[in-house]
Amino acid sequence: MASERLQQEWQGWLAEYGPRLLLFARQQARHRYDAEDLLQEACARAWRQHGRNGGGVPHPRFFFQAIRRVAVDWARSEDRRHRREDSYGLDAPPHDDFECPLEADERRRELETAVHRLPVHQQEVLVLKIWGGLTFAEIADVVGISANTAASRYRYALDHLRNDLATLAS
């Protein structure tokens, strides 16, 4: 009975936070098709650390941190694989950038393009703040920076987006 309650708690939590986490995973992943795998691995890590022993669902920042760590691990692994392939003269697949599945909306595509042009450290903070719903203190914890740095990166990101989108509108 307790395991059923725990399963329902995790499923409800994932239904609420899953889209935010997936968006962050898309931003962290080198390839858009890896985002779901990053999220799945982050959830598996969370379950191993918290759920398996009857603990509740951890705070969302744990998942953001886990996604970020998994993305770094995967990137390192991919880099090693590419170096091996290059040493044997094998061609690596082309680099695939962040893509949002809601491409039908022109304004959304413009925003996505503008976000993609931001420096990576600003993209990361922007996604965690707006779509992740984290505070600057929580973002600081996820990214490993101070809360003030997170706030300034967020402000700079918004300024860049405002300028980019104003240029497109004119």
CA distances from 7 to 11, 45, 60 (A): 6, 15, 17
44 and 122 within one domain: no
DSSP 2-17: HHHHHHHHHHHHHHHH
Distance of CA 55 to the CA centre of its chain: 24
- The domain that holds 132 is classified in CATH as 1.10.10.10
Domain that holds residue 143: 104-170
126 and 58 within one domain: no
pTM of the model: 0.55
109 and 168 within one domain: yes
Domain limit, last residue, from 97, 113, 143? 97
53 and 14 within one domain: yes
pLDDT digits (tens, 9 = 90+) for 31-70: 778 888 988 888 888 878 776 666 677 788 888 888 998 8
Domain limit, last residue, from 45, 66, 97? 97
36 and 20 within one domain: yes
Domain limit, last residue, from 97, 127, 145? 97
140 and 76 within one domain: no
pLDDT digits (tens, 9 = 90+) for 87-136: 655 444 444 455 544 444 677 778 888 888 899 999 999 989 988 888 99
Query: How confident is the model at residue 157, as a pLDDT?
Result: 92
Query: How confident is the model at residue 86, as a pLDDT?
Result: 67
- Distance between CA atoms of 84 and 93, rounded to whole angstroms? 14
Query: How confident is the model at residue 29, as a pLDDT?
Result: 86
Going by pLDDT thresholds of 50, 70 and 90, the confidence category of residue 3 is: confident
Q: Which residues contact 55 (CB under 8 A, 6 or more apart)?
A: 49
